[in-house]
Amino acid sequence: MSLLINAKPAHNTKSRTRKRMARQEAITGWIFILPVLIGFFVFTVFSVIYSSIISFTEWDLLTPQVFVGIKNYVKIFKDERFWQVLYNTAYFVIGLVPSVLVVSMLLAIALNGKVNKLTNFYKISFYMPCITSTIAVSAVWLWVFNPTNGMINTLLYAIGFTNVPQWLQSTTWAKPALIIMRVWQVCGRYMLMFLAGLQTIPATLYEAAEVDGAKAWKKFRYITLPMLSNTTFFITIMLIIESFNIFESVYVMTEGRPAGSTNTLLYYIYYNGFQAYRMGYASALAWIMFVMLFVLTFIQFRIRSKKELSMF
């Protein structure tokens, strides 16, 4: 074989070996991505298509699937529970997103540029709740919110309150309780992301502002905030998705109670699919949730690109 190749004119040999090598490279390339590709087609492409098919059927896994057209979607819009769940989700978005944004941004600004043992300790303790399991942490927070001798109410009693909230047992306070717990759990992560954003702001900007006599607020308003807008935008999207996906804390702390006031979209999907065995209905819910998230993200991207245009 090699003899044959060697007998050919030199340039031909080169291009042939190059071709052979390129083919070999392509084959290796495909072999290396093959495991991921197979999994991608089964667990993502097929799943997404299959999920939309299931959403047009009625199916409890035991009896055969019945095609029912858009009945599930119609039913969802007439389902009072669904509107309550949607209201709860909106509540979580409006409660959680701004509070985490403000808390984590303030923490990051306060910690920015300070590197020593103590600030490192602060970072560690703020990040700690993020890496621990939400299931276990929620079980602990059941005690924090305990109306009689939980930490919060004990503190409230100590500073003189007598009419303390019943937290997880109360329809008005259960949602704020979950929000407080989530803010506590996730703000460390976003604080670190804001810190990353702050590090990219050139110090010369602040120096120039100081020369011009700008006060702290002005510096924050006209330098920090605009320079952080990328990070803020990204974190806002992540937080909205997170608010839609509140599940584990609800599963452990309230199971959607009291009176459905903490029922979230993901919990409702789980309940319909795996407790009531309404696979079609649950799939339709999942699609509605997906479309809502997609539209929300899309709108944010649009608003942002408009804002950027108007700046010029």
Please list every residue from 153 through 172 that binds other proteins, using CB under 8 A.
154
In this structure, are residues 182 and 249 in contact, taking their beta carbons and an 8 Å threshold? yes
Interface with other proteins includes 46 (CB under 8 A)? yes
DSSP letter for 65, please.
Answer: P
| Cβ nearer to other proteins, comparing 9 with 213 | 213
User: Interaction with other proteins in 93-122: which residues (CB under 8 A)?
Assistant: 107, 110-111, 118-122
Helices 279-311 and 71-78 pack at an angle, to 10 degrees, of: 70
DSSP letter for 41, please.
Answer: I
> What is the dihedral sign for C-alpha 270, 275, 277, 278?
negative
Q: How far apart are the C-alpha atoms of 230 and 77, rounded to whole Å?
A: 36
Size of the residue set binding other proteins (CB under 8 A) = 88
Q: How far apart are the C-alpha atoms of 87 and 91, rounded to whole Å?
A: 6
Kindly give, in sequence order, each residue whose CB lies less than 8 Å from that of residue 189, ignoring residues fewer than 6 positions away: 104, 127, 130
Interface with other proteins includes 287 (CB under 8 A)? yes
Helix (H) or strand (E) segment spanning residue 58: strand 57-58
Nearest distance from C-beta of residue 310 to other proteins, angstroms? 27
Interface with other proteins includes 298 (CB under 8 A)? no
Residue from 130, 156, 164, 227 that binds other proteins (CB under 8 A)?
Answer: 130
Nearest distance from C-beta of residue 312 to other proteins, angstroms? 28
| Distances from the Cα of 245 to the Cα of 96, 268, 283, angstroms | 12, 11, 15
Interface with other proteins includes 296 (CB under 8 A)? no
Residue type, 86: L
Interface with other proteins includes 124 (CB under 8 A)? yes
Interface with other proteins includes 66 (CB under 8 A)? no
Interface with other proteins includes 143 (CB under 8 A)? yes
Nearest distance from C-beta of residue 1 to other proteins, angstroms? 17
Task: Give the three-state DSSP class for 57.
Answer: strand
User: Interaction with other proteins in 252-271: which residues (CB under 8 A)?
Assistant: 252, 266, 269-270
Nearest distance from C-beta of residue 240 to other proteins, angstroms? 12
User: Interaction with other proteins in 216-245: which residues (CB under 8 A)?
Assistant: 234, 238, 241, 244-245
Residue from 2, 6, 149, 310 that binds other proteins (CB under 8 A)?
Answer: 149
Residue from 28, 172, 230, 305 that binds other proteins (CB under 8 A)?
Answer: 28
